[in-house]
């Protein structure tokens, strides 16, 4: 057996970025002094403002995580009936629909962008359709113009799952301003993290206020509750960490861009490995480094995945299986395999390679060499 023993410990697909611990201490001191731990405290308010500035958006409501933000975004617009979405995403995208009693309707993806194919949306619209829930997959912007056009002509809402799209811009403008709402995740595995966290980007103060009520049980004053809200609030701990992370985000994105460029250069001549363009017309955040393992590579995606694992490299098959293949979705008519050929083909070939700021050049070389020698 030719077991490749790694000499340098495992390499995971991502590793969260953490600023120096000593820089977090003053924030903790402040929390301990003021004894304000949550409920829209000073750090929470500061982070909302700082994120609006950094991202170039009008209004932000912070959340305890991205999934609660998705569930609440749908609630805030009173979305019901059927919602058109992509099967090629993290399962929370569709779960947020089920938690609202909404029927997901899966539409196939575009083979170049891996985002929902706008050309296939219209055929999926029924009298029950109320909204579209697209995902900016790997941070690559959706065809927002085409989606909005369809939404306008059928009077549908658009909520973007923008969990991958922190800091992504197109023509110098944030992609988070498209549609009715956009939802971010600040989970540990994302480009910008607050351990757990998320946010809804909203177009106006009134919408933000409604969302702020919803994330605090529906309280609109000390004694009145206007809606069946939830507890979705981000704590002062998370907000403080977010403020500190923001000081490092540009350096984090720079380093990710360098790693992305090295992979692209070093994998260029490897037959059967196709590096996905995660930017399109936009400016990428290099959140992921997805490759397609094509037939010409001479080895299946799963065999390459196994070989990498043997070398201590834990790439991930994002997104496999498709959401539409999980038990709570596969009975839906739109989950049928014939309806989703591109998503199915992509899920069988996709592999996300390790990318994170602390990934060293020798580790990148190890990943590339393991692929080359497979
Ligand atoms: C991470 C992620 C979510 C969920 O966010 P959490 O903060 O982990 O709840 C939702 N959608 C997509 C596409 C994601 O990648």
CATH number at residue 291: 3.90.1150.10
Which structure tokens are listed for 253? 């994105």
Q: What is the pLDDT of residue 7?
A: 62
94 C-beta closer than 6 A to ligand 1? no
What does pLDDT average to over the chain? 97
Domain that holds residue 301: 249-372
Which structure tokens are listed for 329? 């979705």
Looking at the domain assignment, is residue 1 inside a domain?
no
What total number of domains does the chain contain?
Answer: 2
User: How many Cα atoms sit within 13 Å of 362 on the Cβ side?
Assistant: 5
pLDDT at 5 over 70: no
Angle at CA of residue 23, ends 31 and 29, nearest 5°: 20
Which structure tokens are listed for 280? 């399109």
Q: From the CA atom positions of the chain, what is the Rg in Å? A: 21
Does 258 share its domain with 231? no
Residue-wise pLDDT tens digits, 70-80: 999 999 999 99
Ligand 1 pocket: which of 66, 116, 189 to mutate (most atoms within 8 A of CB): 66
CATH number of the domain residue 151 falls in: 3.40.640.10
Contact criterion met (CB below 8 Å) for 336 and 237: no
Q: Which residues of 354-372 are buried (b: 16+ CB within 10 A; e: fewer)?
A: bbbbebeeebbebbbebbe
SS3 207: helix
Residue 30 alpha carbon to ligand 1 centre in Å = 30
Contact criterion met (CB below 8 Å) for 132 and 158: yes
Domain stop point among 193, 228, 244:
244
SS3 271: coil
pLDDT band at 1 (very low <50, low <70, confident <90, very high): very low
pLDDT band at 8 (very low <50, low <70, confident <90, very high): confident
Residue-wise pLDDT tens digits, 174-227: 999 999 999 999 999 999 999 999 999 999 999 999 999 999 999 999 999 999
Ligand 1 pocket: which of 93, 116, 183 to mutate (most atoms within 8 A of CB): 93
pLDDT at 367 over 90: yes
Q: What is the pLDDT of residue 84?
A: 99
pLDDT band at 44 (very low <50, low <70, confident <90, very high): very high
Q: What is the pLDDT of residue 242?
A: 98
Does 36 share its domain with 121? yes
Residue-wise pLDDT tens digits, 286-338: 999 999 999 999 999 999 999 999 999 999 999 999 999 999 999 999 999 99
Looking at the domain assignment, is residue 7 inside a domain?
no
Residue 42 alpha carbon to ligand 1 centre in Å = 26
Q: What is the pLDDT of residue 2?
A: 44
What is the reported pTM? 0.97
Please tell me the distance from the alpha carbon of residue 34 to that of residue 42, in angstroms, as a whole number: 10
Looking at the domain assignment, is residue 182 inside a domain?
yes
Residues whose CB is less than 8 angstroms from the CB of residue 313 and which lie 6 or more positions away in sequence, other chains included:
6, 10, 11, 354, 366, 367, 370
Domain stop point among 244, 277, 293:
244
Residue 184 alpha carbon to ligand 1 centre in Å = 8
Does 210 share its domain with 152? yes
Looking at the domain assignment, is residue 269 inside a domain?
yes
pLDDT band at 282 (very low <50, low <70, confident <90, very high): confident
pLDDT at 339 over 80: yes
């Amino acid at each position: 057996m030719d077991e490749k023993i790694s000499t340098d410990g495992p390499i995971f697909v991502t590793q969260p970025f953490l600023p120096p611990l000593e820089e977090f201490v003053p924030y903790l001191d402040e929390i301990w002094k003021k004894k304000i731990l949550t409920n829209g405290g000073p750090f929470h308010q500061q982070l909302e403002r700082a994120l609006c500035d950094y991202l170039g958006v009008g209004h932000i409501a912070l959340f305890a995580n991205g999934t609660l933000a998705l569930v609440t975004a749908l609630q805030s617009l009173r979305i019901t009936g059927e919602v058109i979405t992509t099967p090629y995403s993290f399962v929370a995208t569709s779960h947020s629909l089920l938690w609202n009693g909404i029927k997901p309707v899966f539409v196939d993806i575009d083979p170049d962008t891996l985002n929902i194919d706008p050309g296939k949306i219209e055929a999926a619209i029924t009298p029950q359709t109320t909204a579209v829930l697209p995902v900016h997959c790997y941070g690559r912007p959706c065809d927002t113009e085409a989606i909005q056009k369809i939404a306008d002509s059928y009077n549908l809402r658009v909520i973007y799952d923008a969990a991958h799209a922190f800091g992504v811009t197109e023509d110098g403008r944030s992609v988070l301003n498209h549609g009715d709402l956009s939802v971010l995740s600040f989970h540990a595995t994302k480009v910008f993290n607050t351990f757990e966290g998320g946010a809804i980007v909203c177009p106006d103060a009134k919408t933000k206020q409604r969302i702020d009520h919803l994330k605090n049980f529906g309280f609109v004053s000390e004694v009145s509750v206007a809606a069946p809200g939830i507890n979705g609030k981000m704590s002062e701990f998370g907000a403080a960490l977010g403020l500190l992370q923001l000081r490092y985000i540009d350096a984090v994105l720079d380093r990710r861009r360098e790693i992305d460029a090295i992979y692209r250069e070093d994998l260029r001549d490897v037959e059967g490995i196709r590096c996905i363009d995660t930017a399109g017309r936009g400016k990428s955040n290099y959140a992921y480094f997805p490759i397609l393992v094509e037939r010409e590579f001479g080895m299946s995606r799963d065999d390459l995945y196994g070989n990498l694992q043997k070398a201590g490299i834990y790439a991930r098959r994002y997104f496999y299986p498709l959401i539409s293949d999980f038990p709570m979705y596969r009975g839906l008519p739109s989950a049928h395999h014939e309806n989703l050929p591109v998503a199915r083909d992509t899920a069988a070939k996709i592999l996300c390679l390790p990318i994170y700021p602390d990934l060293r050049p020798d580790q990148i070389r190890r990943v590339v060499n393991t692929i080359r020698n497979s």
